[in-house]
């Protein structure tokens, strides 16, 4: 069964011809989650041949434009393309008015149900549970209210030996050890790394992280693999960011536009085996 993340945008702040701003697509056992939706996400979905209508859930980490300015166009396109099925949207409560006012201006009534789930908790919160997956939101440390998201497969009796795969998305955040308990041991951690550590002061002022800091969080949280992204447009070459992160946490990769990362099923190690002489 698939458990994969496709990177639709990896830049911070401003779209460039090389990198779009933030959006990820998680495919968890054929259930598609769109995580953030910057301007241009529609076209990135097309480029990656992801069928819009298969997306059932959209999660928006916070209301900075580089994480949600593509949402209204995406919602409108689903409408124009004849969607009937519910779409679930998880976001800061302020997003509802931003959507409503724009739909009202164009005299559009969506022909599908848009179910809004406001994110307001100050702690880790279960926001969605299906038969096979739990999704949690947890607070990050940024200049506006911002959530990370954690996706964890559920064990069930029919697949008891399976490893429960997990993915954590930490969009915009300053270095914060408070998030470590939320993401401990995940298979794949996405953590923003807007700057090189030589710009740590600028990063801190803007409540962003450096590649060094992202890798430090990954190491302290004992995750299996780290993806870094949300790169400042100042970096044409991302290799120095990757090198910096790898110096702390070797299993790091760049979350570049169009890349897909599969989280593989692995058998749970037999606890007895480890105790044999």
Catalytic residues: 66
Q: Given the complex with a second copy, which of 16 and 202 has the nearer CB atom?
A: 16
**In this complex, which beta carbon is closest to a second copy, that of residue 124 or of residue 145?**
145
Report helix, strand or coil for 18.
Answer: coil
Residue 126 binds to a second copy (criterion: CB under 8 A): no
Cβ neighbors of 73 (< 8 A, separation 6 or more) are 39, 42
Q: Is 143 in the site for a second copy (CB under 8 A)?
A: yes
- Under the binding rule (CB under 8 A), the answer on residue 144 touching a second copy is yes
State in angstroms the smallest separation of the CB of 65 from a second copy: 5
Task: State the sign of the Cα–Cα–Cα–Cα dihedral 85, 89, 95, 96.
Answer: positive
Tokens 């393309």 label which residue? 81
Q: Among residue numbers 60 through 99, which ones bind a second copy (CB under 8 A)?
A: 63-65, 69-70, 72-73, 76-77, 80-81, 92, 94-95, 97-98
Alpha-carbon distances of 264 from 1, 11, 261, rounded to whole Å:
9, 27, 9
| Partners of 162 in beta bridges | 267
Decide if residue 207 touches a second copy (CB under 8 A). no
In angstroms, what is the minimal distance from the CB of 66 to a second copy? 8
Alpha helices in 106-210 (DSSP H): 180-183, 200-205
Report residue 271: phi and psi, to 5°: -60, -30
Retrieve residue 95's tokens: 């997003």
Window 27-56: contact mask with a second copy (x via CB under 8 A): ------------xx-xx--xx---------
Residues of this chain that interact with a second copy (CB under 8 A) are 13-17, 39-40, 42-43, 46-47, 63-65, 69-70, 72-73, 76-77, 80-81, 92, 94-95, 97-98, 101-102, 105-107, 143-144
């Amino acid at each position: 069964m698939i458990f994969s993340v496709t990177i639709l945008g990896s830049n911070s702040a401003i779209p460039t011809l090389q990198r779009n701003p933030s959006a990820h697509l998680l495919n968890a056992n054929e259930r598609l989650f769109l995580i953030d939706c910057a301007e241009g996400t529609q076209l990135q979905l097309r480029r990656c041949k992801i069928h819009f209508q298969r997306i059932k859930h959209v999660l928006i980490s916070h209301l900075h434009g580089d994480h949600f300015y593509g949402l209204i166009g995406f919602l409108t396109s689903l409408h124009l393309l004849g969607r009937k099925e519910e779409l679930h949207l998880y976001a800061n409560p302020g997003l509802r008015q931003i959507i409503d006012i724009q739909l009202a201006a164009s005299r559009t009534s969506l022909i599908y149900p848009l179910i809004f789930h406001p994110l307001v908790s100050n702690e880790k919160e279960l926001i969605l549970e299906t038969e096979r997956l739990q999704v949690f939101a947890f607070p990050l440390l940024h200049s506006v209210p911002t959530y990370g998201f954690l996706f964890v497969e559920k064990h069930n009796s029919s697949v008891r030996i399976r490893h429960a795969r997990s993915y954590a998305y930490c969009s915009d955040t300053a270095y914060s050890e408070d998030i470590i308990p939320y993401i401990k041991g995940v298979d794949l951690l996405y953590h923003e790394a807007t700057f090189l550590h030589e710009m740590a002061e600028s990063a801190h002022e803007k409540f962003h992280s450096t590649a060094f800091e992202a890798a430090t969080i990954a190491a302290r949280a004992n995750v299996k693999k780290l993806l870094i992204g949300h790169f400042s447009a100042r970096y044409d070459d991302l290799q120095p960011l990757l090198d910096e992160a790898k110096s702390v946490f070797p299993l790091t990769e760049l979350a570049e536009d169009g890349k897909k990362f599969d989280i593989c099923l692995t058998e749970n190690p037999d606890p007895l085996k480890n105790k044999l002489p």
